[in-house]
């Protein structure tokens, strides 16, 4: 396989193949977190997945590199947000520089609820069935292309932010079990940290 295709394919599988996506950002820039620095490497030993955060071109934006156990990688952009006392990590494909990238990397946004401290980053993903139920009650607008694919949310940022605010009390929009549990690699022993060199 052409090695230049690996990041695109990995990105498609990791972020688009089985996850709910939104055409609009879930949160506006005024919800961005400015006093927490995520730069560095984070590792989920259970899934063998590593995330590396580097400073992005824009303020409070990160370049994020995912590395799989098979050494396949995918690059995305992301930022940390906060509503009330709840943190969220919103990610999207990098800006397209060619027509091919535009076809592969849809300009969609994925959202994780996050529990973060200086040792761990625990990420929870959206419950697809809850999204479908919300669409049935007209609280959000979605497009469904097939029963085997998650819906694409087409609501505006304002509508999505309101949805998140309303969910702060019910707390049923995200899965109960974490999708990823990352630990900062600065806390790993020397032998474990060597795998990232």
Q: What's the pLDDT tens digit per position in 11-29?
A: 444 544 457 889 999 999 9
Listed as ranges, residues in the chain with pLDDT below 50 are: 1-13, 15-17, 103, 188-197
d(CA 123, CA 19): 14
pLDDT of residue 118: 83
Cβ neighbours of residue 162 closer than 8 Å, sequence gap 6 or more: none
pLDDT of residue 88: 97
User: How many structural domains does the chain have?
Assistant: 1
pLDDT of residue 156: 95
pLDDT of residue 170: 79
pLDDT of residue 15: 44
pLDDT of residue 16: 44
pLDDT of residue 59: 78
pLDDT of residue 71: 84
- For 142, the enclosing helix (H) or strand (E) is strand 142-143
Q: Which domain holds residue 68?
A: 3-196
Instruction: Give strand pairing partners of 181.
Output: 122
- Residue located via tokens 């919800």: 31
């Amino acid at each position: 396989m052409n090695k230049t295709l690996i990041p695109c394919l990995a990105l498609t599988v990791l972020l688009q193949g089985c996850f709910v996506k939104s055409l609009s950002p879930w949160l506006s820039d005024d919800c961005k977190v400015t006093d927490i620095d995520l730069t560095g490497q984070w590792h989920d030993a259970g899934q063998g997945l590593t995330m590396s955060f580097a400073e992005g071109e824009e303020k409070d934006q990160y370049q994020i590199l995912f590395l799989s156990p098979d050494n396949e990688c995918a690059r995305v952009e992301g930022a940390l947000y906060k509503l009330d006392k709840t943190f969220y990590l919103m990610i999207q494909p990098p800006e397209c520089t060619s027509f091919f990238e535009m076809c592969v990397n849809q300009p969609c946004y994925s959202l994780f609820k996050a529990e973060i401290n200086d040792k761990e980053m625990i990420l929870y993903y959206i419950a697809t069935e809850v999204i479908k139920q919300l669409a049935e009650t007209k609280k959000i607008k979605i497009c469904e292309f097939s029963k085997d694919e998650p819906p694409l949310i087409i609501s505006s940022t304002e509508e999505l932010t309101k949805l998140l605010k309303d969910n702060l009390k019910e707390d049923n929009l995200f899965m109960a079990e974490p999708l990823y549990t990352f630990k900062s690699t600065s806390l790993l022993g020397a032998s474990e940290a060597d795998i990232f060199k």
